[in-house]
Amino acid sequence: MDQLTRKAYAKINLGLDALKKRADGYHELAMVMQTVDICDELTFAVKETPGIELYVEWSKDGWTEPPDDFLNAGEAQPVPSDRKNLVWRAAELLMNEFGIKKGVKITLKKRIPVAAGMAGGSSDCAATLHGINELFELGLNLHELQVRGVKLGADVPYCLLGGTALAEGIGEILTPLSPMPECHLVVAKPAVSVSTPFVFKQLRVNELEAHPDIAGMCAAIGENNLDGVIDRLGNVLETAAIPHFPVVGDLKEEFKRLGADGVLMSGSGPTVFAIFKSEKQAWAAADKVKKTGLAAQIFVTKPV
Ligand code: C5P
């Protein structure tokens, strides 16, 4: 095989709890992860000369609101096309380990919001591990890819798996769950970029007043009970992010006002997602949020 294409899906967190801070600075978490139908696309092509070439392109497909000036405003440029990109590091890791003499040309078509709490970088990284494994027929299984992936990022093992899952430890201990109950999602990313380490640094695990009911969330998913899922939406990183990025709180309020059945910040933010039972209501809410200017990117999507 000389060339292949893979999709890298974004994720949201239906639940995110932090249990304690470890000596190495990472936090022990309990998270309910869900992939959504917003994806980047990566193409991998064998090159006869050694080395990695990475090209990043932007695609606005699937955005309900691509502001005209977005791609010129610098917002779309924080994706590096060198070793700083996890895609590059994932390819390098496997190609060095297996002594691959040929090279690879990778094209990354971005759609997932960047620095958004949607694991876009981790998902691209996971797609690259899958892609290089397939392209050069390395024969690694999912677990073997996950062992390598966690060295590149805590969310990478989950992104290699995808779907609905409970993630524990730093995110690498995974239990697959049955699919999330059907619903419509509006995903909105404000025009601020948020650094995950910054948000975790603001988190005071020992001072948290409330913890989301992660076990109850898993049970509700098992029972295909959407109301049970909605009742248990919770993310402790909101306490760390919202004081610094008040637009996250404003967006949540706006979605509630527009009749969302549930609303939560995803991961370390600033992306907010709203759950709607009615597709019509989801599109209407997306349209109204667009007009508020609170979000730079808005998608109407579904769990996958
Ligand atoms: O592993 P990754 O590079 O994606 O993590 C980014 C940052 O998020 C870490 O440097 C750490 O500050 C924070 N983090 C954490 N606990 C986790 C996962 C990430 O504190 N379980």
| Per-residue pLDDT reduced to its tens digit, 201-260 | 999 999 999 999 999 999 999 999 999 999 999 999 999 999 999 999 999 999 999 999
Q: Whole-number mean pLDDT of the chain? A: 94
Mean pLDDT of 289-301: 92
High-pLDDT (> 70) share of the chain, %? 94
Whether the Cβ atoms of residue 4 and residue 131 lie closer than 8 Å to each other:
yes
Whether the Cβ atoms of residue 103 and residue 44 lie closer than 8 Å to each other:
no
Q: What is the pLDDT of residue 62?
A: 63
Q: What is the pLDDT of residue 237?
A: 98
> If residue 22 lies in a helix (H) or strand (E), which one and from where to where?
none
Mean pLDDT of 156-184: 98
Atom index in ligand 1 nearest the CA of residue 268 equals 8
**pLDDT tens track for 75-127:** 555 789 999 999 999 999 999 999 999 999 999 999 999 989 999 999 999 99
**Ligand 1 lined by 29 (C-beta under 6 Å):** yes
Whether the Cβ atoms of residue 37 and residue 9 lie closer than 8 Å to each other:
yes
CATH topology of domain 3-176: Ribosomal Protein S5; domain 2 (3.30.230)
| Residues annotated catalytic, as ranges | 11, 155
Q: What is the pLDDT of residue 183?
A: 98
Q: What is the pLDDT of residue 72?
A: 42
Atom index in ligand 1 nearest the CA of residue 203 equals 20
Confidence band for 64, pLDDT divided at 50, 70 and 90: low
State how far the Cα of 9 lies from the Cα of 126, in Å rounded to an integer.
10
* 3-class state of residue 175 by DSSP: strand
Q: Where are the domains of the chain?
A: 3-176, 184-301
Q: What angle do CA 24, 27, 32 make, to 5 degrees?
A: 145
Phi/psi region, residue 15 (left: phi>0; alpha: psi -120 to 50; beta: rest), is beta
User: What's the gap in Å between 25 CA and the centre of ligand 1?
Assistant: 8
User: What's the gap in Å between 268 CA and the centre of ligand 1?
Assistant: 10
Does the structure show a pLDDT above 90 at 70? no
Q: Within 10 A of 280 (CB to CB), how many other CB atoms are there?
A: 9
CATH topology of domain 184-301: Alpha-Beta Plaits (3.30.70)
Does the structure show a pLDDT above 80 at 69? no
146: Cβ contacts below 8 Å, ≥ 6 apart: 156, 157, 160, 161, 172, 174
Q: Do domains 3-176 and 184-301 have the same CATH topology?
A: no
Confidence band for 67, pLDDT divided at 50, 70 and 90: very low
**Ligand 1 lined by 196 (C-beta under 6 Å):** yes
State how far the Cα of 171 lies from the Cα of 262, in Å rounded to an integer.
24
Mean pLDDT of 259-277: 98
Confidence band for 59, pLDDT divided at 50, 70 and 90: confident
Structure tokens belonging to residue 3: 């060339």
**Ligand 1 lined by 26 (C-beta under 6 Å):** yes
- Dihedral sign, Cα of residue 224, residue 225, residue 226, residue 230: negative
**Ligand 1 lined by 154 (C-beta under 6 Å):** yes
